[in-house]
Amino acid sequence: MTVSIDCKECKDCELAVYCYSEPSTWVFRTKQEMVEKCAQIARCPVYRKLIQERTTRDQGRPAEVPDSAGP
């Protein structure tokens, strides 16, 4: 599933791989890494815009948003 947002800021961002893929495909080595990355991702304004577009595209179906507290 591809969302079209052209963001030059994301080019050098280490979190871009997460922003441009579905959360269900994310893999972390440790729970601590998951918590830290999810918190960083949740604060990213570009990621929030991606989630908003996905929600709009999916016609109101709830989008997956990372929980900084982890599972």
In a domain, 4, yes or no: no
The answer to whether 18 and 26 are in contact (CB under 8 A) is yes
Residue 19 pLDDT: 78
pTM, full prediction: 0.57
Residue 36 pLDDT: 94
In a domain, 15, yes or no: no
d(CA 16, CA 71): 22
In a domain, 48, yes or no: yes
In a domain, 35, yes or no: yes
- Residue 1, pLDDT > 50, answer no
The answer to whether 66 and 22 are in contact (CB under 8 A) is no
Q: In which domain, by residue range, is 49 found?
A: 22-57
In a domain, 69, yes or no: no
Say how many domains are in the chain. Answer: 1
d(CA 5, CA 30): 30
The predicted-structure confidence for 2-49, as pLDDT tens digits, reads as follows 445 557 778 888 888 887 788 889 899 999 999 999 999 889 888 888
Structure tokens at 16: 């871009």
